[in-house]
Structure 1
Amino acid sequence: MEKEIARVAEEIAELVGGDVDRDEIKEALEKYVRLGIDLPSARQVLLKKYGVKGVRGVGDEVELAELSGGEMSVNLLVKIVSVSKKVVRLSGGDEKEIAFGLMADRSGIRKFTAWEEFGLEEGGTYRIEGAYTKSYRGEVEVNLGNLCTVEPAPGELEDLDPSSLPRIGTPREVKIGEIVPKMGTVTVEGRVLSASEKTVTVSGAEKEIQEGVLGDETGVIRYTAWGSVRLREGGSYRIAGAYVRSWKGIPQLGIDERAEVTPLDREVDVKESTEGPTRKRISELLLKGEQYVEVTGCLIEVREGSGLLFRCPVCRRVLKESTCRVHGPQQGYPDLRVKAVVDDGYGAAQVVLNREITEKLLGMTPEEALEESERRGEVLWLEEEVRRKLQGRWFVMRGTAILDDFGPTLLPKEVEIVKGDVEEELKTLLEEIEGVVL
């Protein structure tokens, strides 16, 4: 590295000319390298400091298709396909105007962001030195920062037709029903079923966003549109570059100004029923959660923590030995809950039944359960009562299914007991099986 630093220092001194101090240049390079700046970037900083322009950087120009993300300093020869400007808020709270758009070379097209004013014009060709790259939501983007030099390159790439070039790293095109968490950026077509405005606070600043539901023939998904992006309720769109987020395993779409939103001149077909729940086997919930799902299964286990419990009056957390883990000792209020496991023959899921559903299934209120517990002198009797009444019975459950590292959990809003004599049905089934075996 010492020999390389000496070589680059000598090169800079030759380019600067005059009575420049070679030892000073070498010391500056060594300082930058110690700070973690790569040598090509350090070279560019010093050339800029000494007012040297139009000099090629260390290393040959690379093509856009070769970029993998994480490059600290690359040289490019590109044509600007599109360029726009916007004001962004930096991490320190200051606002800054930046340029963003698409650039192309003979290998394809990529997104770029210019953090300084370089005078980029649509259709212009430029030689760029010292650009860096980042992977953003699965797509490599070129960044032009203050260590970068940009010079017009008239006569270069004159015959380049961007319309015939591929978009490098084009987001995967999927149907809405195929979207799962951690999918990265995607391209979807859908119709806006609902849309509303909302104000949120991000990093201490208020932002206006749009929230809504997008649908196609395979399903629906919630979306959030940021910045100036707005979708019209009832409109159909093609959205390239939307990013998949998730809330407790339930996928959602984020759409910002980096995405390409194109109105369609046709109406996207939407799944016939978007208001009712989607019927699912539990095995299907191992891939992603669902906002509104219907599952039919047998309650095979009632878990500890079911029955009568007491909640913190401040935050509603369950008290343990009359103590909230956040607010300390509390005089809790009574509540009812069932924690259980449901199996539909294809998979198993945890289920948590809220107070309203538990009241309905047990036929008592929290106050009545507390009164009976005081009469008996203990509360565990209700957990056994839950097992006696619910375990082994079949239920239809409708509500939200969330997903975490422990698997799916059902949070029903509605529960119905499956009518019929389950024991008799099992007896008949066993007789049929025995008949086949014999």
Structure 2
Amino acid sequence: MPSEDLRKHAEDVLSLLGNDLKTPVNADDIKGQLERFLEYGVPLNQAKQTLLKKYGASASVSTQALEITKLTDLQPNLRSVKIIAQVVSINPKDITVKGEPRQIFSGILRDETGSVSFTSWHDIQVERGDVVEIGNAYTNEWQDAVQLNIGNKTQIEKRDKDALPKETFEPTKCSINKIHTGMGALDIEVCILELQKKDVEVNGESKTMFHGVFGDETGKIPFTAWHDFKLKEKETISLIGGYVKSWRGIPQISFDKDAKVKKVKKDGVSIDKIPERKLRMFEVEEQSGLYDVSVEGRVIEVQQGSGFILRCPECKRMLLEGECQIHGSVDGVADLRVRCVIDDGSGSVSAIFNREISEMVLGKTMDECKEMEPSALMDLMKDILFAKVFSLKGNTMRDRFGTRFIPHDVEKVEVDVKKDAEELISILSNGGI
């Protein structure tokens, strides 16, 4: 093995040892010991692990920290992670920590297996498109997705492009229903269902973004374009490039000037062919987030926290005894909501109706609900909702509290009990279900 490569392995061991060394040692010492192990035929990873134990490495440090981890194999709460990936995007962001201004850097990394978001608490001196080897990083979970974190002890080294397989840079041909958070470049044909232009400020610089909704024969997905491709609603386009990120668990397509966008003139995706995506509850529970889907089920619980509430004007959280958990005592903003659990026999989800939908379902305005005693309002909601069947259309997200359905459309389903009973009897009479 070349001396410079062995030196790098020695530095890997040293970085994993950190500052809590039982015996002082430097990279040259480690390199010399690795050379002797290799002379006796000891596998490199075994030699490195032996040295980690010799110098008192934490029990949580294993050979996994010495090996390259593919992005698709990353899990929350890993330590001493090493990866090789390409920088898809990187942006500085000014934040406040304990009252002090700080600047962090966040973006997207990708390899041949997928992509992952990352956050660094210092300037890592890399640019979009760079291929880098990152060692001694760690992971956590943010909005139901894995995030890679780069700390002060993390090592970053730029690598040649051939350090990654060529498929890393090749787009994946797919349809919308196959898209998931973590995918890299796409090759997809879609119809532009909705399109809006918005001026935003990014790191003190004014930029124009275009956002909306794509659709094909398998479903819909939100998108954001950071370049003016002269997009128009109802047009069908071919998109090659970009990447998939997550917002509250819901996959979104994001792309910029490096993407290839071409108008499809004939035999493209038709708006008329875009279906309603109707799912069973167990399918919803399996996903971290879904966009514009529909479910149908029976209300089995009207939850506490339903009814007339006051929200914090800053973060929109519900006030408890007149106070926000984040902003303290504030003047609350009036709102009306319904929180309920809906079940279809295959699973259940918690649904949250906004003011408009709550007023429609309850047949009362927010002001009318405000004048009612809380217990009387709860009784009314139970009378109207409990054991009734509803059809919901909207988005889903999942957090530590479970799966939540945020509908934009709710409709009560009238059930013909007699007809359903007769159909069930008929099925059972013919040999079962």
SS at match of 1:272: helix
Q: What is aligned with 1:408?
A: 403
Q: Which amino acid aligns with 1:350?
A: S
Question: Structure 1 residues 212 and 421, CA, compared in 2 at 3 Å: closer, same or farther?
Answer: closer
Question: Structure 1 residues 273 and 250, CA, compared in 2 at 3 Å: closer, same or farther?
Answer: farther
Report if aligned partners of 1:229, 1:255 keep a CA contact under 8 Å in 2: no
Report if aligned partners of 2:293, 2:395 keep a CA contact under 8 Å in 1: yes
1:250 partnered with 2:245: no
Aligned equivalents of 2:172, 2:241: Cα separation in 1: 9
Q: How many residues align?
A: 301
Aligned equivalents of 1:256, 1:395: Cα separation in 2: 40
Alignment of 1:117-132 (within 5 A): none
1:284 partnered with 2:283: yes
Question: Structure 1 residues 208 and 346, CA, compared in 2 at 3 Å: closer, same or farther?
Answer: same
Q: What is aligned with 1:354?
A: 354
SS at match of 2:272: coil
Question: Structure 1 residues 288 and 185, CA, compared in 2 at 3 Å: closer, same or farther?
Answer: farther
Q: What is aligned with 2:216?
A: 216
Structure 1 residue 394: Cα displacement: 0.5
Q: What is aligned with 1:382?
A: 377
Q: What is aligned with 1:365?
A: 365
1:299 partnered with 2:306: no
CA deviations on 1:154-185 (whole Å, 9 max, x unpaired) are: xxxxxxxxxxxx76642321112321222333
Question: Structure 1 residues 324 and 406, CA, compared in 2 at 3 Å: closer, same or farther?
Answer: closer
Alignment of 1:321-360 (within 5 A): 321-330=321-330, 332=332, 334-360=334-360
Largest Rg, 1 or 2: 1
Q: What is aligned with 1:190?
A: 190
Q: What is aligned with 1:177?
A: 177
SS at match of 1:372: coil
Aligned equivalents of 1:221, 1:322: Cα separation in 2: 38
1:392 partnered with 2:387: yes
Question: Structure 1 residues 369 and 264, CA, compared in 2 at 3 Å: closer, same or farther?
Answer: closer
Structure 1 residue 281: Cα displacement: 2.6
The runs of at least 4 consecutive aligned structure 1 residues that moved more than 6 Å come to 68-72, 145-149
Q: What is aligned with 1:205?
A: 205
SS at match of 2:361: helix
Aligned equivalents of 2:93, 2:324: Cα separation in 1: 37
Question: Structure 1 residues 431 and 308, CA, compared in 2 at 3 Å: closer, same or farther?
Answer: farther
Report if aligned partners of 1:221, 1:253 keep a CA contact under 8 Å in 2: yes
Structure 1 residue 209: Cα displacement: 2.4
Structure 1 residue 431: Cα displacement: 5.4
Percent identity between the two aligned chains: 31
Structure 1 residue 326: Cα displacement: 3.4
Aligned equivalents of 1:388, 1:181: Cα separation in 2: 40
Question: Structure 1 residues 221 and 147, CA, compared in 2 at 3 Å: closer, same or farther?
Answer: closer
| Unmatched 5+ stretches in structure 1 | 9-31, 35-67, 73-87, 94-114, 117-130, 136-144, 150-165, 374-378
Structure 1 residue 327: Cα displacement: 3.6
SS at match of 1:245: strand
Structure 1 residue 299: Cα displacement: 0.9
SS at match of 1:180: coil
Q: Which amino acid aligns with 2:321?
A: E
Q: Which amino acid aligns with 1:401?
A: T
TM-score (norm 1): 0.55
Aligned equivalents of 1:306, 1:90: Cα separation in 2: 40
Report if aligned partners of 1:192, 1:231 keep a CA contact under 8 Å in 2: no
SS at match of 2:242: strand
SS at match of 1:358: helix
CA deviations on 1:115-171 (whole Å, 9 max, x unpaired) are: 99xxxxxxxxxxxxxx96459xxxxxxxxx99999xxxxxxxxxxxxxxxx766423
Report if aligned partners of 2:302, 2:386 keep a CA contact under 8 Å in 1: yes
Report if aligned partners of 2:388, 2:412 keep a CA contact under 8 Å in 1: yes
Range that drifts further, 426-435 or 412-421: 426-435
CA deviations on 1:277-304 (whole Å, 9 max, x unpaired) are: 5333333333353433332211112112
Aligned equivalents of 1:303, 1:92: Cα separation in 2: 38
Structure 1 residue 395: Cα displacement: 0.9
CA deviations on 1:316-374 (whole Å, 9 max, x unpaired) are: 4311112222343345465432111112233321101122322333333333333331x
Aligned equivalents of 2:282, 2:406: Cα separation in 1: 16
Alignment of 1:410-425 (within 5 A): 410-422=405-417, 424=418
Question: Structure 1 residues 332 and 401, CA, compared in 2 at 3 Å: closer, same or farther?
Answer: same
CA RMSD of aligned residues (A): 4.5
| Unmatched 5+ stretches in structure 2 | 8-25, 29-69, 72-81, 95-125, 135-155, 161-165
